[in-house]
């Protein structure tokens, strides 16, 4: 399989040599951090030849190339993943052992590449892993943020954001590609010049510019010699301060250009599913998009003369609306620089661009005020106006007199540029990320577009890479699976189905339970070290890890814990399976109610964890700084996977898949990909509860519901809600959680209350939780159901997802690389 023979002796020499060269130290004197750098450079040496060979092969075959355009790539750590994918885990572990170091400790020295917020960014990372492993020519294109997603500290129960200076020790895997730098222009004005042939030329002048410099990061395929590239752009001033500018009195402009370069890639916006409308964000978008499109066109032109055939060799996938300026930017290049006619340019653009929608949350939809958009991107705005003018004409031709359709589909409307509408109009494919989500797009959010161009719409249910989330994250289970059914699952997860044979076998169940127990011990140690909390590894590990958002309903979970605690206080002998409730979640820095929910979870944890009267039946743990690297350990240890979003709101969810793959059972609503998870795992092996998407939407269309009725009629719920405002969990400040109370009941204003149906779903959730309690007591049943969850997770590999994108949208050809 692998084209090279891993040479242990040589690798060992390289590691010791690297420590000397980099730090003037012998290996005995080196710190773990220094050994990390030395090992990473040695691994890079192995990778680099494959990397060169891969791109030589792509050139030779003149293969069609995917450019996956995304503002976010949540890669996590690289070293461990790269070692696994070059298939040298065992050998490198041995080498390090011989040198007196533990590979796990060395891996722990690396910072996560946290160039993303959550689901969307991690999905992009999984896709890159699958594309490389399956041998398809693909680039990830993104931004080399100087600061990734903030690190989360919990102080006195509150989230505190700490800058993530992930590059401070340097990144051994990256390669700067100075030779591909591009110029990006902002602002100024557009001058129109008519030439002798009656053709208009559009010239942007008085602009500010920055230089975009790409850095390549290797994306290593699993055991196939393929190394693809994640290309992330850094910004530099065009000419650092020149006296020239000073002389011409352009001093001010020179300073501004320098500042622009400094700020543009400074930091990742920490909002997830919430659009803030910041000018700098639009700058970031245009910056990396213009650079990436220029690069793709430049690469194509190096080999081909006719840009009309660009769609035969290039496809751009737009990861949500964030990269949508790709559509007018490609128009600009074709028309202004390549002298295409409008129609010819439009034909090319709409054959190259495809758009993925990830969310139906209204507040996530990007809309830019015309004033801002046209000031920052004057030429791009002209092009968007013309796209819109022609599109509106087409709508009116198709539906004479239907001005409601013009209103709903227009790209420019009410003083704003609607990016989702632009993305749909300029793309040949529009996809949602789970079956239910795509249906909601077609029936509601993008209904009129679906009516007009139904052929564009398709579903691509998300997936995750089993190489990181089982092979790397859960070594014990991975080895066990391989022992039972062989290792084909690593590159084709459909094989994992064979495990079903063993689900009823008592000995296998025992082995499975032991593995879960070992993984729980690993997490228990982590929790002890990081939170100082003692957790019983024999308790049921109930896990909700994901971004903190009201629609994801961490609140429902913690309210239910408060309710259970009340029951236990009333009856300390209450017969229940001991549980550890594990939360992990970052809240956007400006999302007040989300941050208050973190405080509530920690306050409840404080009270419950320190109350001996409940005999340790409940523990609540909030894991600080939930991120890709510690997520791998949490999934491995989970018994129960909380997927409890308000139905219709979660696009897909992907932690639901990662937890399933690691043998956790799902408690969840019929939302996102949960629907398909239950279809695969069997409804009897999951705990489904609550309102359906249709019911939620029906309530909303009729103006919501009145949570007061529940508050007035359900004494237990009422008691829990009162504890939010009577100091039960904040004796020093009883008003602390008033805003949460109000969000549920809203006694003071006419705003809708409990818009996420927490109270409405509470009783159904409680019932499902008692079913969990009952089921967990039957060890054999639980182990069988857990094994069946693993066995039925085959559909949720990102390899399957990527295969569908390739067959239906990208049409790429597989490339073999031999050394």
Min separation Cβ 755 and ligand 26W, Å: 17
Min separation Cβ 269 and ligand 26W, Å: 7
CB 65 within 8 A of CB 138: yes
Report the C-alpha gap between 413 and 465 in whole angstroms.
40
Nearest CA among 341, 344, 426 for reference residue 384: 426
CB 367 within 8 A of CB 416: yes
Min separation Cβ 359 and ligand 26W, Å: 5
Nearer to ligand 26W, 174 or 550 (CB): 550
The pair of three-digit structure tokens given for residue 446, joined into one six-digit string: 């993008």
Nearer to ligand 26W, 149 or 540 (CB): 149
Min separation Cβ 281 and ligand 26W, Å: 7
Q: Which residue is nearest to ligand 26W (CB)?
A: 119
Nearer to ligand 26W, 274 or 522 (CB): 274
CA 381 to chain centre: 29
Backbone angles phi, psi at 808, to 5 degrees: -95, -25
Min separation Cβ 546 and ligand 26W, Å: 9
- Beta-strand pair 353-356/158-162: unpaired
Q: Residues interacting with ligand 26W, by CB under 6 A?
A: 117-120, 123, 271-275, 320, 358-359, 364, 366, 433, 462, 650-654, 672
Min separation Cβ 424 and ligand 26W, Å: 15
CB 710 within 8 A of CB 760: yes
Q: Active site includes 367?
A: no
Task: Give the angle 410-416-418 at the CA atoms, nearest 5°.
Answer: 50
Nearer to ligand 26W, 310 or 634 (CB): 634
Q: Active site includes 405?
A: no
Report the C-alpha gap between 631 and 97 in whole angstroms.
26
Helix axes 758-777, 554-570, angle to 10 degrees: 60
Nearer to ligand 26W, 95 or 123 (CB): 123
Report the C-alpha gap between 373 and 401 in whole angstroms.
30
Using left for φ > 0, alpha for ψ between -120 and 50, and beta otherwise, residue 87 falls in left
Min separation Cβ 680 and ligand 26W, Å: 17
From the list 654, 666, 669, 755, the catalytic residue is 654
The pair of three-digit structure tokens given for residue 706, joined into one six-digit string: 């009145």
Report the C-alpha gap between 613 and 603 in whole angstroms.
18
3-class secondary structure, 267? strand
Q: What string of DSSP letters covers 599-646?
A: HHHHHHHHHHHT-GGGTTSEEEEE-TT--HHHHHHHHHH-SEEEE-PP
459-483: b (≥16 Cβ within 10 Å) or e: bbbbbbbbbbbbbbbbbbbbebbee
Min separation Cβ 462 and ligand 26W, Å: 5
Min separation Cβ 478 and ligand 26W, Å: 24
Q: Kind and range of the H or E element at 207?
A: none
CB 677 within 8 A of CB 685: no
Q: Kind and range of the H or E element at 234?
A: strand 227-237
Report the C-alpha gap between 506 and 483 in whole angstroms.
16
Min separation Cβ 268 and ligand 26W, Å: 10
Task: Give, in order, the Cα–Cα distances in Å from 270 to each of 4, 147, 548, 627.
Answer: 42, 11, 12, 13
Q: Active site includes 658?
A: yes
Q: Active site includes 654?
A: yes
From the list 456, 549, 649, 658, the catalytic residue is 658
From the list 468, 546, 560, 617, the catalytic residue is 546
Q: Kind and range of the H or E element at 468?
A: none
Using the structure block, give the residue that is written with the tokens 């359906």.
Answer: 692
Q: Active site includes 547?
A: yes
From the list 405, 467, 547, 599, the catalytic residue is 547
Nearer to ligand 26W, 88 or 282 (CB): 282
Min separation Cβ 122 and ligand 26W, Å: 8
Q: Active site includes 299?
A: no
Nearer to ligand 26W, 171 or 652 (CB): 652
Nearer to ligand 26W, 433 or 753 (CB): 433
Number of C-beta neighbours around residue 259 at 10 A: 12
Q: 289 burial class (0-12, 13-18, 19+ CB within 10 angstroms)?
A: buried
Report the C-alpha gap between 515 and 512 in whole angstroms.
5
Min separation Cβ 656 and ligand 26W, Å: 9
Nearer to ligand 26W, 111 or 319 (CB): 319
Three-state secondary structure of 650-681 = CCCCCHHHHHHHCCCEEEECCCCCHHHHHHHH
Report the C-alpha gap between 1 and 50 in whole angstroms.
14
3-class secondary structure, 695? helix
Min separation Cβ 708 and ligand 26W, Å: 30
From the list 146, 405, 437, 552, the catalytic residue is 552
Nearer to ligand 26W, 672 or 794 (CB): 672
Nearest CA among 701, 691, 739 for reference residue 555: 739
CB 481 within 8 A of CB 499: yes
Task: Give, in order, the Cα–Cα distances in Å from 721 to each of 367, 611, 712, 717, 726.
Answer: 37, 21, 11, 6, 9
| Residues known to be catalytic | 358, 546-547, 552, 654, 658
């Amino acid at each position: 399989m692998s084209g090279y023979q891993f040479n242990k002796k040589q690798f060992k020499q390289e590691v010791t040599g690297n420590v000397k060269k980099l730090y003037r130290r012998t290996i005995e004197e080196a710190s773990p951090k220094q050994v990390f750098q030395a090992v990473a450079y040695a691994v890079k040496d192995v990778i680099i030849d494959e990397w060169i060979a891969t791109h030589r092969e792509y050139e030779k075959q003149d293969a069609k190339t995917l450019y996956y355009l995304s503002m976010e790539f949540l890669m996590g750590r690289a070293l461990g993943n790269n070692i696994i994918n070059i298939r040298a885990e065992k050998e490198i572990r041995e080498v390090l052992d011989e040198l007196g170091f533990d590979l796990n400790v060395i891996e722990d020295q690396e910072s996560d590449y946290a160039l993303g917020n959550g689901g969307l960014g991690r999905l992009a990372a999984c896709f890159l892993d699958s594309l490389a492993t399956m041998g398809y020519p693909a680039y990830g294109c993104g931004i080399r943020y100087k600061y990734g997603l903030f690190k989360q500290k919990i102080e006195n129960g509150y989230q505190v954001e700490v800058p993530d200076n992930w590059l401070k020790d340097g990144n051994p895997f990256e390669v700067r590609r100075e030779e591909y730098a591009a110029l990006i222009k902002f602002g100024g004005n557009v001058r129109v010049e008519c030439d002798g042939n009656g053709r208009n030329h559009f010239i942007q002048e008085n602009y500010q510019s920055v230089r975009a410099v790409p850095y390549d990061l290797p994306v290593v395929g699993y055991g196939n010699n393929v190394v693809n590239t994640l290309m992330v752009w850094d910004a530099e001033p065009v000419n650092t301060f020149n006296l020239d500018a000073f002389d011409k009195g352009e001093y001010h402009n020179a300073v501004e250009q320098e500042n622009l370069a400094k700020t543009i890639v400074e930091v990742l916006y920490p909002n997830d599913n919430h659009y803030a409308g910041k000018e700098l964000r639009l700058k970031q978008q245009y910056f990396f998009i213009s650079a990436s499109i220029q690069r793709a066109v430049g690469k194509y032109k190096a080999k081909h003369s006719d840009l009309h055939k660009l769609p035969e060799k290039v496809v751009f996938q737009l990861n949500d609306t964030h990269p949508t300026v790709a559509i007018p930017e490609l128009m600009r290049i074709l028309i202004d620089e390549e002298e295409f006619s409008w129609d010819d340019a439009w034909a090319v653009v709409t054959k190259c661009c495809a758009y993925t929608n990830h969310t139906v949350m209204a507040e996530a939809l990007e809309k830019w005020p015309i004033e801002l958009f046209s000031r920052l991107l004057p030429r791009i705005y002209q092009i968007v106006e013309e796209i819109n003018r022609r599109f509106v004409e087409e709508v009116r031709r198709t539906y004479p007199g239907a001005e409601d359709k013009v209103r709903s589909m227009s790209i420019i409307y009410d003083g704003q540029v609607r990016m989702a509408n632009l993305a749909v109009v300029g793309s040949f494919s529009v996809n949602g990320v789970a079956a239910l989500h795509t249906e909601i797009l077609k029936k509601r959010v993008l209904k009129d577009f679906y009516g007009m161009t139904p052929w564009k719409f398709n579903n691509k249910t998300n997936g995750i890479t089993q190489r990181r989330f089982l092979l790397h994250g859960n070594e014990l289970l991975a080895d066990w699976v391989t022992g039972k059914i062989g290792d084909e699952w690593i590159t084709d997860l459909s094989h994992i189905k064979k495990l079903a044979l063993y689900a009823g076998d008592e000995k296998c169940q025992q082995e499975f339970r032991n593995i879960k127990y070992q993984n729980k011990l690993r997490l228990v140690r982590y929790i002890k070290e990081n939170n100082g909390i003692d957790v019983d590894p024999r308790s049921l590990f109930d896990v909700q890890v994901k971004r903190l958002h009201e629609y994801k309903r961490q609140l429902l979970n913690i309210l239910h814990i408060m309710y259970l605690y009340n029951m236990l206080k009333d009856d300390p002998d209450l017969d229940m399976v001991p549980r550890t409730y594990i939360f992990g979640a970052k809240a956007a820095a400006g999302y007040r109610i989300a941050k208050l929910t973190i405080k509530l979870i920690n306050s409840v944890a404080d009270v419950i964890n320190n109350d001996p009267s409940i005999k340790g039946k409940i523990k609540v743990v909030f894991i600080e700084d939930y991120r890709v690297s510690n997520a791998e350990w949490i999934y491995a240890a989970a018994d129960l996977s909380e997927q409890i979003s308000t139905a219709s709101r979660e696009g897909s969810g992907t932690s639901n898949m990662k937890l399933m793959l690691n043998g956790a059972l799902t408690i969840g609503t019929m939302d996102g990909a949960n629907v398909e998870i239950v279809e695969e795992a069997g409804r009897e092996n999951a705990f489904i509860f609550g309102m359906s998407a249709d019911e939620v939407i029906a309530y909303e269309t009729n103006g919501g519901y009145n949570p007061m009725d529940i508050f007035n009629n359900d004494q237990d719920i009422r008691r829990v809600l009162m504890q939010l405002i009577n100091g039960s969990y904040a004796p020093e400040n009883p008003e602390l959680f008033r805003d949460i109370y109000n969000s549920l009941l809203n006694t003071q204003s006419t705003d809708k209350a409990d818009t996420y149906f927490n109270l409405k779903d509470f009783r159904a959730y409680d019932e499902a939780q008692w079913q969990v309690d009952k089921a967990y007591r039957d060890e054999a049943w639980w182990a069988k159901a857990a094994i069946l969850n693993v066995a039925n997770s085959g559909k949720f590999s990102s390899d399957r997802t990527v295969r569908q994108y390739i067959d239906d949208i990208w049409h790429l050809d597989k490339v073999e690389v031999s050394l």
